[in-house]
A and B are shown apart, each in its own frame.
Chain A
């Protein structure tokens, strides 16, 4: 029983260490986004960035708060306030070099992915994009 618990704890530590940190070249996060994120997260929550098929340009961003972290996730941590962002490997392929910002305008206030060097064309609501393909 005790050994099982220890085993699980150890497994937990091991997976946590396995998450590679995102570099500055992979994801940039504005100060505004980082401080807003710190305000909105509950304990243990992180901002999850995902790319999925859909939307009027073919691929759309999905941004949500998530407590889970999976094996293929990559992690970003704010050096200022410790807020965390996770991206899975598949989605990162469509996001490399993009910036996470927090935008407040008349339409909505939200985290948004801007300046994505892979996106060729976005739709007017900003939630979907067409990547530059091959």
Chain B
């Protein structure tokens, strides 16, 4: 746990359940949890790279998105990544579109 930020280093978002059991914090599986998290961030970078964005881990719990101008925004959960990526890039994210990244459009209202 980060004593400054009071962050446990393990997310509670549904997508953070890369663990072996239903425990709130995956202390016993922490290495497995972190390895799966690293893999996910690598995949996420491949997806947001066309938007000119880079994603980094933030204390094992949140995600930091940075654009080419150096602007950084923190996404507390994976669900928050997409609206932030849209706001930083001005492009839309739509998994139903052919390339996942939709042409320039107005970002949807839901996050």
A and B bind: no
* Chain B interface (Cβ < 8 Å from any Cβ of A): none
